[in-house]
Amino acid sequence: MEQQKRYGHFDDQHREYVITDPQTPWPWINYLGNEDFFSLISNTAGGYSFYKDAKFRRITRYRYNNVPMDNGGRYFYVKDGDTVWNPGWKPSKTPLDFYECRHGMSYTRITGRKNGVEASVLFFVPLKKWAEVQKLTLSNQSNETKNLKLFSFEEWCLWNAATDMENFQRNFSTGEVEIEGSTIYHKTEYRERRNHYAFYHVNTPIQGFDTDRETFVGLYNEFANPDAVMEGKPRNSHAHGWSPIASHYIEVTLAPGESKDFVFLLGYIENEQDQKFAAPQVINKDKAQALIAELNTTEKVDKAFAELNAYWDALLNIYKVKTGNDKLDRMVNIWNQYQCMVTFNFSRSASFFESGVGRGMGFRDSNQDLVGFVHQIPPRARQRIIDIASTQFPDGGCYHQYQPLTKRGNNDIGGGFNDDPCWLIFGTVAYIKETGDFSILDEMVPFDNQPGSEVTLFEHLKISMDHVIKNLGPHMLPLIGRADWNDCLNLNCFSWDPNESFQTTENVSEGTKAESLMIAGLFVVTGKDYVALCKKIGKDAEAERMQQAVDSMIEAVKKHGWDGEWYLRAYDFYGRKIGSNECEEAKIFIESQGWCTMAEIGADEGMVAKSLDSCKKYLECEHGMVLNNPAFTKYIYEYGEISSYPEGYKENAGIFCHNNPWVIIGECIAGRGNDAWSHYAKILPSYVEEKYQTLHKVEPYVNCQMVAGKDAYKPGEGKNSWLTGTAAWMWYTVSEFILGIKPDYDGIRIDPCLPETATDYTVQRKFREADYEITIHPNGAQKGVKSITLDGQPVAGTVIPYSAGKHTVEVTM
Ligand code: GLC
Ligand code: GLC
């Protein structure tokens, strides 16, 4: 493999990824904000901001899939004589003497230098504030005085990001702004039903401004060369309709060696209904001014930034590993945990592949994401579980998605995805094991958000299990419904109409025989967890009842779900096998191998080992394991969306990173540490970063949903970065199964599964009110703990019993 061009590198000490060439193979982005106000920011300062919901409260405008790519963002133009440049290179694309973008934990710093002037911008959203800070430092590094003209730029979105892109007959007439001092206010629709507005402020007097896009840019120009900037003259335009923007104009004189800070603030405000106006047509600006007053000096901003860093110190101090392998340590200690928090905040709503106007929160996605952040923010995980469970139906089925602002189930997509209920057990068990908080089981939780319908959360778990048991097919395996985890295996859809959604079209569900082995495995894994939970809380009869159901499922899989070398994937509507050696294409699928090996179904009969070997033989390639093999080469009417994708992409034999960890965990449970590690390292970003920055294309510091598989045109090319269940699964895999630190009801279970080359390592783990320092001595073993001492005393078994305080643990394998 020839050496690929590199665009950046990790800086572990600062927890940053440093991009040194602005022309990355795709925009490499970061996320700002942790609670209500959020922003996406690319390495050239592209992107946008929103309040809570990327669809309904979009603050700034963004044009997806544009030419050029990543067009629109927060831009600073420096005009130095005849030269116009931007610190992030775009949009003017004037070649810089120096460029650097540092993506850190909820902040990004972009620095550019040109002709002896440096502009460095720190972007972040302070904790608990509804605003994005942009602290710009301009310094004169030359020997002469510099007279610079500085223009800022933001473009307002008219709040609803969907209608903003289409309802122009209305939009072009509604835009309204106010300008007061150094603040530009955006108040479109405030005169009627909106009680919120946005503003863009700078903490210095300005010498001009613009608020009308066409006047500022010029109808036949681009962001690269706006009229006002090229001429060095603001127009002081006041937008009425069309496209409102916010641009400040500031004249800056810098002596040699001098530097100045400017604090720009993009804020969002909500007013009470009776407090909306200061005078007729004039918005009440009190809250905006109060917010500005909190962040209008370098000192205040630096303090807010220090608080943000301390917040991340605390989050990342909960689980820290030291193995001596930088590529592993940086993913475990920094980037994997960071990506999990981002997926917690954004679910699947807003990335450079998710436009923010589509999906809300997924029922299954959100439950899985939970295992990635429950150790960091348990109270918010608790709330998330209650929110999710509140969208369940009384029969145990669930809305497939819900809206983040209203928390209501999404009627457009509805329910009928038969894996969904099981995930509620998965999420809840993870929460209780982390926190020891069994009281969540007694919370009263409604069905479909209907007041009066409340039952305990435990009841919700029970009907979730029952939903599977009550929906078994002819082989006593779970009916698949509209789809299981694989949204694209739509066995009751049968569509020839390109305008139909594969997920919501069910032409033929009556009389279906379509069954899923993936749900069967998932049911056994979560069923065992449910049984253990019932025993723990003294519900022995219920434990017994469910154990029988789990046992029957295991028998059904062994009898009807085994193909000889691997587990089948499903039975179709007519009861024909899917994922079998008998099939012409797609003879083997990854999902059922993952779940049935995790469930250890048929381990004694050798099924687990054979299945794992088959994954290596048929699914594995240089870049990870593909979803199915061979890829479908033609559309199969009976299978739905899966075969609609060209070979090697997405659910048709792409490397769908989300499910690689399932097989890796299967390997770990089977004690095959070398294999587990080699699968893991293939999709671990830091290993990919080292080898394939150009080919991989998307950000090398986080996982992406899909890497093109071995049947694709360009195997190894990544897509759909950031918002993917892969983040949580990678975390769960490495923290609990590879490094082997597993929270349990009564303490921490220690059960690593390592490559035989592993050397001694230490994990610092805060757990409830305790602080453990755990050192593992693998001694060349892949699996199997021989002895444990806790504070010098031997411990029987593999669970360190929980007690508050500081503890030292030594583990010998
Ligand atoms: C996407 C969806 C997830 C689904 C997966 C496989 O990642 O968000 O719900 O399980 O695709 O189809
Ligand atoms: C499409 C995608 C799948 C995703 C689903 C979400 O089917 O291929 O990955 O889960 O849409 O609606």
pLDDT digit string, tens, across residues 548-590: 999 999 999 999 999 999 999 999 999 999 999 999 999 999 9
Please answer whether residues 214 and 240 qualify as being in contact, where contact means their C-beta atoms are separated by less than 8 angstroms.
no
Question: What mean pLDDT do residues 656-684 have?
Answer: 98
In angstroms, the CA 329 to CA 686 distance is: 10
Question: What mean pLDDT do residues 179-200 have?
Answer: 98
In angstroms, the CA 663 to CA 631 distance is: 19
Residue 359: pLDDT band by 50, 70, 90 thresholds? confident
Residue 475: pLDDT band by 50, 70, 90 thresholds? very high
Percent of the chain with pLDDT over 70: 100
Cα dist. 124→60, 129, 304, 734 in Å?
Answer: 16, 10, 9, 30
* Among the bound ligands, the one closest to the CA of 645: 2
Q: What is the atom index within ligand 1 of the atom nearest the CA of 486?
A: 12
Cα dist. 370→349, 395, 399, 413 in Å?
Answer: 16, 24, 18, 22
Q: List, for residues 264-309, the tens digit of each pLDDT value.
A: 999 999 999 999 999 999 999 999 999 999 999 999 999 999 999 9
Residue 735 DSSP symbol: I
Give per-residue burial for 314-333: e unless 16+ CB within 10 Å, then b. Answer: ebbebbbbebebebbbbbbb
pLDDT at 506: 82
Is the model's pLDDT at 322 over the cut of 90? Answer: yes
In angstroms, the CA 618 to CA 265 distance is: 54
Question: What mean pLDDT do residues 383-390 have?
Answer: 96
What 3-state class would DSSP assign to 437? Answer: coil
Residue 256, preceding peptide bond in cis (omega within 30° of 0)? no
Residue 505: pLDDT band by 50, 70, 90 thresholds? confident
In angstroms, the CA 472 to CA 512 distance is: 11
Please answer whether residues 377 and 127 qualify as being in contact, where contact means their C-beta atoms are separated by less than 8 angstroms.
no
CA–centroid distance for 593 within its chain: 25
Q: For residue 725, report the distance from its CA to the centre of ligand 1, in Å.
A: 8
What 3-state class would DSSP assign to 305? Answer: helix
Look over the chain and give the mean of its residue pLDDT values, rounded to a whole number: 97
pLDDT at 16: 98
How much helix, strand and coil, in percent to the nearest 5, is found in the chain? 30, 30, 40
Q: What is the atom index within ligand 2 of the atom nearest the CA of 413?
A: 12
Single-letter residue type at 792? G
Q: For residue 794, report the distance from its CA to the centre of ligand 2, in Å.
A: 50
Is the model's pLDDT at 13 over the cut of 90? Answer: yes
Pairing mode of beta strands 805-812, 770-777: parallel
Q: Give me the residues paired with residue 138 across strands.
A: 119, 260
Q: Ligand 2 in contact with 591 (CB < 6 A)?
A: no
Residue 471, token pair as written in the block: 């929906």
Q: Ligand 2 in contact with 70 (CB < 6 A)?
A: no
pLDDT at 2: 54
Residue 795, token pair as written in the block: 């411990």
The one catalytic residue in 369, 419, 487, 529 is: 487
In angstroms, the CA 694 to CA 388 distance is: 39
Q: Ligand 2 in contact with 723 (CB < 6 A)?
A: no
CA angle, 254 then 258 then 264, to 5°? 75
Please answer whether residues 326 and 11 qualify as being in contact, where contact means their C-beta atoms are separated by less than 8 angstroms.
no
Is pTM beyond 0.75? Reply is yes
Q: List, for residues 221-254, the tens digit of each pLDDT value.
A: 999 999 999 999 999 999 999 999 999 999 999 9
Q: Give me the residues paired with residue 178 across strands.
A: 185
Element (H, E) at 379: helix 378-389
Is the model's pLDDT at 679 over the cut of 60? Answer: yes
Of 283, 179, 151, the residue nearest 238 (C-alpha) = 179
Residue 175, token pair as written in the block: 């835009």
Closest residue by CA, ligand 2 atom 5? 487
Q: What are phi and psi of 328, to 5 degrees?
A: -80, -50
**Max CA separation in the chain (angstroms):** 85
Q: For residue 376, report the distance from its CA to the centre of ligand 2, in Å.
A: 29
Residue 725, token pair as written in the block: 């269940």
Which residues are CB-contacts of 221 (< 8 A; sequence separation ≥ 6)? 227, 230
CA angle, 536 then 538 then 544, to 5°? 90
Q: Give me the residues paired with residue 283 across strands.
A: 277
- Torsion over CA: 344, 349, 354, 358 (sign): positive
Q: What is the atom index within ligand 1 of the atom nearest the CA of 488?
A: 12
Element (H, E) at 664: helix 660-669
Is the model's pLDDT at 1 over the cut of 60? Answer: no
Q: What is the CA radius of gyration of the chain?
A: 28
Residue 394, token pair as written in the block: 């009384």
Of 135, 119, 62, the residue nearest 86 (C-alpha) = 119
Closest residue by CA, ligand 2 atom 3? 487
In angstroms, the CA 34 to CA 32 distance is: 7
Question: What mean pLDDT do residues 310-323 have?
Answer: 98
Q: What are phi and psi of 778, to 5 degrees?
A: -70, -30
Is the model's pLDDT at 3 over the cut of 90? Answer: no
Element (H, E) at 172: helix 168-174
Pocket probe mutation, ligand 2, options 354, 487, 644, max atoms within 8 Å of Cβ: 487
Q: What is the atom index within ligand 1 of the atom nearest the CA of 483?
A: 12
The stretches of 504-651 forming alpha helices (DSSP H) are 517-536, 540-560, 590-598, 607-614
Q: List, for residues 190-226, the tens digit of each pLDDT value.
A: 999 999 999 999 999 999 999 999 999 999 999 999 9
Q: What is the atom index within ligand 2 of the atom nearest the CA of 705?
A: 9
Residue 137, token pair as written in the block: 């430092």
Question: What mean pLDDT do residues 103-121 have?
Answer: 98
Element (H, E) at 231: helix 227-231
Q: For residue 691, report the distance from its CA to the centre of ligand 2, in Å.
A: 29
Residue 324, token pair as written in the block: 């001596």
Residue 509: pLDDT band by 50, 70, 90 thresholds? confident
Is 487 known to be catalytic?
yes
Please answer whether residues 723 and 354 qualify as being in contact, where contact means their C-beta atoms are separated by less than 8 angstroms.
yes
Pocket probe mutation, ligand 1, options 595, 658, 703, 726, max atoms within 8 Å of Cβ: 658
Residue 452, token pair as written in the block: 């009066």
Pocket probe mutation, ligand 1, options 365, 401, 402, 592, max atoms within 8 Å of Cβ: 365
Element (H, E) at 32: strand 29-32
Residue 540, token pair as written in the block: 């022995």
